[in-house]
Amino acid sequence: MTLFWIISAAMIVAALGLIAPTLLRKQEAATDSTEQLNVDIAREHLAELAKQKDAGDLSDEEFAQAKQDLEMALANDLAGTKDAPKTATGTGGGRAALLVSALVIPLIAVPLYLEIGSPAMIDHPAVTAGAASVPASHGSGELPPIEDLAAKLRERLEANPDNAEGWFLLGRTYMRMQDYTQATEAFERVNELLPDQPAVLLSLADAMTMRDGRRSSPRSIELLEKALAIDPNAVTALWLLGNAAFDEGKTAKALEYWQHAYPLLAEEPGMQAELGQMITSAGGQLPASPAALPTIMGGAPATPIQTTVAAAPTTAATPSAEAGVRVQVEVALAPGLFDQVSDTDTVFVLARAESGPPMPLAVARHSVAELPLQVTLTDAMAMMPAMKLSSFPRVKVTAKVSKSGQAGSQPGDIVSADVIVDSANPGGVVQLLLNQVVK
């Protein structure tokens, strides 16, 4: 604090020092007015002589002589004026102005700073700690550690415990960290704030199952059945209930759930292929059409819907390696943009050829509620047989939050930077940080 006021005083003194020479300088009283009067009189006299010459009253020689005499007289008058003593104006007014400035500037500046400034920040620990306390910047687009994302979000939620969307996102983050105990606690908070929401019930059941070593407890099954009663086409509920039935040796019941879920994954070819493998491995047949769907618990045949499908449940069986290219992608949202999205906003993860047509080679569609998420882009996601990941040596991978749910970018959408990967050898996981708002 003392150093701050010393610096402030020094700045005021420096400012006064800049204006002091001007205020204290003696101003000489000019005699320009007398000189100007003599010149004006000489000009009038010369004009009269010119008129007399033009009228014929003066010859050229007489006019020249009279002009010479006039110029000599004017020169003598001006010389006398310059030799006259000059008086200096007093400096009393300048001294007074300087004194007033020295008093008024601090009297105005200090109260004004105390009123509209931030004096409390002068000794604030966050300021005095220095640059050493500032964390590394992630402005370059590098994905921050997921632990940092979770810690920052948790801190915000402690200050706003009724933020259901924030707790849901925190639960998804803990799932990504494989901290299933804290994920269960976060989803329990959401379930208290938003009861009987299928997405919440499903996420809570999934977290509980993973926490219990991939074993479905009576509580998790109860949550899944409740979610399915609310939404008969809840893919995650069908998938997990099928898993639970299969673990209990009820293969026929498991196939009913899985076969019902299979056509609902039409927009997610990779997930559909995974579930299809589970069905065939259990001795079931893939549904040929929506009409072939089995009934669930005595209800009417379900009709597939064209909606955004949740990510495959964490407890699903691990599929065998698929042929073709596989690019693992992790997507997270920058902490500062949490308030600019909603759970229902669409997240697109896609790959395009680095040099080639702009058509996506692979697309995965999810929702903000699933962030942070991990996606595997494969040849099975190709829109056309000739336009797939393995058809191009290098591809650029990117992600986007779409407010409209459309693939085209619009103002307000949030995108990540492109990451170029070798399709034949993608290497490690591609990390994408959603941190750029489309203008």
Mean pLDDT of 300-311: 37
Q: Which residue has the tokens 């955004």?
A: 308
- What CATH number should be reported for the domain whose range is 146-292? 1.25.40.10
Q: Say how many residues make up the chain.
A: 439
Residue 40's pLDDT is 66
Q: Which of 40-44, 71-75, 207-211, 263-267 has the lowest mean pLDDT?
A: 71-75
- What pLDDT, on a 0 to 100 scale, did the predictor assign at position 22? 64
- Of the ranges 64-68, 277-281, 307-311, which one carries the lowest mean pLDDT score? 307-311
Question: Band of the pLDDT at 292, cuts 50, 70, 90?
Answer: very low
> Is the pLDDT higher at 173 or at 119?
173
Confidence of residue 317 (pLDDT cuts 50, 70, 90): very low
The pLDDT score that the predictor gives to residue 111 is: 66
pLDDT at residue number 385: 61
3-state SS, residue 267: coil
Q: With bands split at pLDDT 50, 70 and 90, how would you rate the model's confidence at 28?
A: very low
Residue 296 has pLDDT above 60, yes or no: no
CATH 1.25.40.10 residue window(s) in the chain:
146-292
Say what the pLDDT of residue 75 is. 65
Q: 3-state class of 230 per DSSP?
A: helix
Given this model, what pLDDT does residue 20 score? 66
User: Does pLDDT of 342 surpass 60?
Assistant: yes
Structure confidence by residue, pLDDT tens digits, 53-93: 787 776 777 777 767 766 766 665 555 544 444 444 445 55
∠ CA(313), CA(318), CA(324), 5° rounding?
A: 110
Q: Is the pLDDT of residue 216 over 70?
A: yes
Range with lowest mean pLDDT among 101-115, 310-324, 409-423: 310-324
Residue 272 has pLDDT above 70, yes or no: yes
Considering the chain, what is the average pLDDT of its residues?
Answer: 74
Per mean pLDDT, which of 30-34, 116-120, 153-157, 188-192 is the most reliable?
A: 188-192
Distance of CA 369 to the CA centre of its chain: 18
Q: Give the mean pLDDT of 227-250.
A: 88
Report residue 187's pLDDT band, with 50, 70 and 90 as the boundaries: very high
Give me the residue label for tokens 């893939």: 286
Q: What is the pLDDT of residues 354-404, one digit of tens each?
A: 876 677 888 888 989 888 888 888 888 776 666 788 888 889 999 999 988
Closest CA to 49 of 39, 70, 63: 63
* pLDDT(170) > 70: yes
**DSSP code of residue 41:** H
Query: Greater confidence, 355 or 415?
Result: 415
Q: Which of the two residues, 394 and 6, has the higher pLDDT score?
A: 394
pLDDT bucket at 136, cuts 50 / 70 / 90: very low
Distance CA 168, CA 184 (A): 10
What's the whole-number mean pLDDT along residues 306-331? 56
Q: What integer pLDDT is reported at residue 38 of this predicted model?
A: 61
Integer Cα distance of 220 and 412 in angstroms: 38
pLDDT over 70, % of the chain: 65
- Identify the residue with better confidence: 99 or 282: 282
What pLDDT was estimated at residue 114? Answer: 61
Percent of the chain past pLDDT 90, that is, above it, reads 13
Distance separating alpha carbons of residues 365 and 187, to the nearest angstrom: 23
Confirm or reject CATH 1.10.10 for domain 326-437, answering yes or no.
no
More confident residue, 148 or 123: 148
How much is the average pLDDT of 178-197?
90
**Strand, helix or coil for residue 383:** coil
pLDDT of residue 303: 36
In the predicted model, what is the mean pLDDT of residues 327-355?
A: 87
- Count each helix (H run) and each strand (E run) in the chain, helices first: 13, 9
Do 386 and 374 meet the contact criterion of CB atoms below 8 Å apart?
no
Rounded mean pLDDT of 207-230?
Answer: 89
pLDDT at 337 (0 to 100): 86
180, burial (CB in 10 Å: exposed 0-12, middle 13-18, buried 19+): buried
